[in-house]
Amino acid sequence: MGSMSRNKGKVGEREWARYCTARGYECHRTAQCRGDTGQAADVEGLPGIHIEVKRTESLRLYDALAQSRHDAAVGDHGIPIVAHRRNDERWVVIMMADDWFTLYKAWEENPTATDIASTVRDDHVEFKCSRCGATIGCVECGSLDGAKFNFCPGCGAKLEGYKWWLEELRDEWEDQE
pLDDT of the chain along its 177 residues, tens only? 566 666 778 899 999 999 988 888 889 998 644 555 556 889 998 888 999 999 999 999 999 999 999 988 887 778 999 999 999 999 999 999 999 988 888 777 765 544 444 455 555 566 666 667 676 665 555 555 444 456 676 777 766 555 545 555 555 556 655
Handedness of CA 97, 98, 101, 103 (dihedral sign): negative
Report domain 3-98's class. Answer: alpha beta
41 class by beta-carbon count within 10 Å (0-12 exposed, 13-18 middle, 19+ buried) = buried
Task: Please provide the distance, in angstroms rounded to a whole number, between the alpha carbons at the two ends of the chain.
Answer: 63
Q: CA–CA separation, 137 vs 10, rounded Å? A: 32
* Range(s) within the chain of domains with CATH label 3.40.1350.10: 3-98
For the whole model, what pTM was predicted? 0.59
